[in-house]
Amino acid sequence: MAGSSSQFNRELFEAAPADVVERAIKEYVACSRGNWHPAFGGEAIFDEPLVGFAAGDDSIFQEYKAIIGDFHLTPGEALVRHLKSRMGSEVRPARVTVIAFVLPVAYSTRLSNRRETVVASIRWNYTRWYGQEFINELSRYLVSLLEGLGYQAVAPELADFYGWKELPGGLASNWSQRHIAYAAGLGTFSLNDGLITPRGIALRCGSVVTDAGIPPTPRVYRNHVANCLFYRGESCRRCIERCPVGAISEHGHDKNKCREFLFVRQKELLRELGRTPGYTGSYPACGLCQTKVPCEDRIPPAAGSERRQTA
C-alpha cells in the first residue's frame, strides 16, 4: 500500500504546500545534528530559518539575465537541465517553484565576530565550513522529501550544471542564492552587497527548485536596497568602517579586493598572528562587514531608534 500512503501524503501537501515545506525546513534545522557546531559543544550553527517561495515564471528571473548576466539560470532552465541529465531528454515541467531559505548565524558566533577587527573569529570560520555542509544536507533532504511526494526537485548549487563566471567586477555564479532569496521576498541587498532580511545580514542561504505548485511569497520591499540605511539616506557607514581592507566604500563593494583578502592576504595575516591552518578550516571566511553593524540581526530601524551593537 506504499502507493496509497504516498498519495495520502501528497493530498496533505497539496492542501497547504507552503506550510508543509516551511515546517519541514524549520524542524530539520531545529533537530538535525548537522546544525551542531562539532567544535563548540554542539551549539547551534544557525537559528530558526526564514522560508520564502517564488514562481518560476516570475519576470524577475529574466531581469536577472540583464542584471547579472545571460548565464544566470532561470528556475525553469535549472529544472529542465536537471531533468535532462536524469532522463536524457528535454522535459518541460508545467509549473516551477523556487523554495528559498535563509539561515541566520547564531548569536554566540555573531558575538565572537563582533570582537574581531582583523580576521574572522573561529566560530565564524566554522560556520562557513560546517554551515555550508549543513545547507547542502538540508537541500538534499528537501529534494528527497519532494521526490518522495512524486515531484521533481533539484538544488541548483549542488547540480553538475552549477558554475561561476569571472566578470571584470568579480566572480558571479549561474545561481545566485541572494537573488533567489530576494525574488522569494526574504530581504534586500545592501551597500556591502549582503542580503538584509528581517533576521539581519549575518546569514547563509540556499534554495531548491521543484515542479510542485506553491504560492509565491509577496515582495514587500520598496526596492532592491530598501533595507540598507545607507540607501535610505541615513548616512550609515558601519560596514565601510568594519572592513579590514577597505573593500567597501560609498560606491559599493569591491569583490576583487574582498576576495584577495579572503584567499591571499588573510593567509599571511593568520601566519603573522600565529594561527594554524585549522583556524579557518576548509574555507577562509571573513564577514566583519556583517557583524557589529546595525543590520547584523534585523532590518535596521530609522535613525534615532538605532541600538548600537557593543562587544
Site residues (vs ligand B12, CB under 6 A): 67-68, 128, 157, 170-173, 175-179, 182, 189, 192-195, 201, 203-206, 224, 252-253, 255, 258-259, 262, 285-287, 289-290
Least distance (Å) between residue 196 CB and ligand SF4? 6
Cβ proximity to ligand B12, 81 vs 128, nearer residue:
128
Partner in contact with 176, chosen from ligand SF4, ligand B12, none, beta carbon below 5 to 8 Å by kind: ligand B12
Partner in contact with 245, chosen from ligand SF4, ligand B12, none, beta carbon below 5 to 8 Å by kind: ligand SF4
Contacts to ligand SF4 by CB under 6 A: 190-192, 228-230, 236, 238-239, 242-243, 245, 247-248, 253, 258, 261, 286-289, 293-295, 300
Least distance (Å) between residue 248 CB and ligand SF4? 5
Least distance (Å) between residue 11 CB and ligand B12? 34
Q: How far is residue 48 CA from its own chain's centroid?
A: 14
Partner in contact with 67, chosen from ligand B12, ligand SF4, none, beta carbon below 5 to 8 Å by kind: ligand B12
Cβ proximity to ligand B12, 144 vs 256, nearer residue:
256
Cβ proximity to ligand B12, 97 vs 192, nearer residue:
192
Partner in contact with 186, chosen from ligand B12, ligand SF4, none, beta carbon below 5 to 8 Å by kind: none
Cβ proximity to ligand B12, 30 vs 171, nearer residue:
171
